Amino acid sequence: MLFPSHFSSRKAFSLLELLLVIFIVSLVYFLGFSGFEKEKKRMPVLTPLKLKAEVMQSPLFRGQGTLICIDGCRSCYFREDIASPFEAYKGKTKLSHLKVYTLDRNDALSQLEYGRYQDRKICLQVDFYPNGSSTPLILQNDEGVYFLPAFFGEPKKVASLEEAKALWLKHNDALQHQGDYY
């Protein structure tokens, strides 16, 4: 036995071995788990049928607020209240070529014109209230006509503006006579 110290057992890791293990664990974490975090942060696409549900589930929504869309409804912004600044909605939209209608006091269809934001024309504005309701609207684009009720029911795709108007009047009638028992 020439060198007995070479045959003794080691009782600790070297610094190089520890750094190698840390590097491998970090690499596995980065490759394996970083995709999950990115998926969770991705905002859903805004469509006429999912507009209310997606906005109310977004991280920007805190019980009430206003959504506006500009640039032909390709980019949208949300604010919590009138004193808050608008924050960009980071998700995509499928609201292009949108016409927005409401019913006037004579129950006639009236196309809405909203004004401008950052010197660009606003094509959509929806207010969300603390009781879970929102602005009732009729939306029309290249894909169809949609009725978005204020509170009760789900948004529906309908065949025409007249059918959407009939749904609006039906919902208004139901709300007006909600307390009638006799």
Q: Are 146 and 132 in contact (CB under 8 A)?
A: no
Q: Which pLDDT value is given to residue 180?
A: 45
- Could you report the average pLDDT of every consecutive run of 10 residues in the chain (182 residues)? 57 85 89 62 80 86 91 91 89 89 91 92 93 90 92 88 91 58 48
- Residue 157: enclosing H or E segment and its boundaries? strand 156-158
Q: Which pLDDT value is given to residue 68?
A: 94
Q: Listing from the earlier edge strand, what are the strands of the sheet with 87-88?
A: 87-88, 75-79, 65-70, 120-128, 116-117
Q: Which pLDDT value is given to residue 4?
A: 56
Q: Take residue 142 and report the two structure tokens written for it.
A: 């290249």
For residues 112 and 140, give the distance between their C-alpha atoms in angstroms, rounded to a whole number.
Answer: 12
Q: Are 124 and 68 in contact (CB under 8 A)?
A: yes
Q: Could you identify the residue written with the tokens 């980065």?
A: 30
